[in-house]
A = this chain, B = another copy of it.
Amino acid sequence: MSEFRRTAAAFVQGSRTLPREYYVSPQILADELESIHARAWNCVGRASMLVAPGDYITRTIAGESIIVLRDRSGTLRAFFNVCRHRGTRLCREDSGQLGETIQCSYHAWTYATDGRLLGAPHMQEAEGFDKADYPLHAAAIEEWEGFLFVNVARSPRPFANVWAPMIRRLARFDMPSLIVGHRVRYDVAANWKLVFQNYSECLHCPTIHPKLATVLPYQSGANDLIEGPFLGGYMEIKAPNESATMSGRPAGKLVSPQLSEEDRHRAFYYTLMPNLLLSMHPDYVNYYLVHPISADRTVVESEWLVHPDTLHGGNLADAVEFWDLTNRQDWDIVGQSQLGISSRRYEPGPYSPRESMPAAWDREYLRQMGRSVASSQ
């Protein structure tokens, strides 16, 4: 596959880690939420959560509670979880069924599932009040490979433009057909960028992940996305292992019959700004949603996607255990990085060519923050 390049080729000599304040400043976190998350297409999970009209979930994006739903006509929609009357939160649960309308439980303002204000008791007594002026505030929503993405900006950049590099890239994995087989939530004592950087290189694997290192040699593979908001590539699954599981045996059926012979011995890892980490293996896909909570705390939600047959005949626990072990090793070490970087004597250190991906991620991050790489160092 000619599009895969050797990592070293993409390395910018002299790359260094980000300065201290990017990891400890509450102000920079606020800037990030405004400049990156509040302008970007944030993954909120799988479309399979919203099957019937009236199905909804609530999710937090850049500090905003958003209602994501399928309206009465079957269209996917997203709304700010805020009544237009006195601001009350409308939906309290993580998920549920709305029925025909969304009614505020305070003064009974009532909205259609497409956001139109239908009823507002006694407001007809207020001069000039027009229900058409008070629909729910909408957020933009898109679906890609079975994932849902929400953008809370007033004028979002079109998904098709921003995500152009990804649109057809992973089609052969047939992810829309997969179902959720497992779900887990982690609380990480580190800045969210450390989670991305950690995911982006395997130079640490021999030290931190002795089990993983026997299955996925850190010097194997290559990257096909080496600059920009989407980064990553593949690693080789080392024979006789057939997948990244505790036993080395597959956890279930191939995710798609379209996978090439090469794909069947590879594991793919992509960071997709601003909040999605996507791992594809021959027999399962696991992904991570990264939620910044404070400068030194991040919540990571993860789901495992599998072929429907795997849930019955497969052994998904074999893969879950493999990654749960690996993830906990990662959260532990990024917690130690967070502590060390907080030192006033910390200064940006040198990236090696084996860390070209975190270096590229940092560049894209600075670009989205509107800062030049030079001025950050």
Contact = CB atoms under 8 A, between A and B. Distances in A.
Nearest to A92: B336
B122 A354 contact: yes
A169 interface: no
B106 A204 contact: yes
A83 interface: yes
B125 A349 contact: no
A365 to B, nearest CB: 15
Interface in A134-160: 134, 137, 152
A341 B80 CA distance: 11
Interface size class of A (residues with CB under 8 A): 35 or more
A165 interface: no
A127 interface: yes
Interface in A95-122: 105-108, 120-122
Contacts of A13: 126-128
Interface in A293-348: 333, 336-337, 339-346
Contacts of A65: 339-340, 343
A84 B340 contact: no
A296 to B, nearest CB: 13
Nearest to A108: B207
Q: Is the interface of A mostly helix, strand, loop or mixed?
A: loop
How many monomers of this protein are in the complex? 3
A171 interface: no
Nearest to A81: B340
Contacts of A38: 344
Interface string A11-45: 00110010010000000000000000010000000
Contact of A352 (B20, B83, B123, B341): B123
A369 interface: no
A88 B203 CA distance: 15
A370 interface: no
Given A83-B349, A345-B82, A353-B122, A340 B203 contact: no
> Lowest 4 A-B CB distances belong to which pairs?
A87-B341, A89-B340, A122-B352, A89-B339
15 contacts: A8-B125, A14-B127, A82-B343, A82-B346, A83-B349, A85-B349, A88-B340, A89-B340, A105-B208, A105-B333, A107-B203, A107-B204, A120-B352, A125-B354, A152-B345
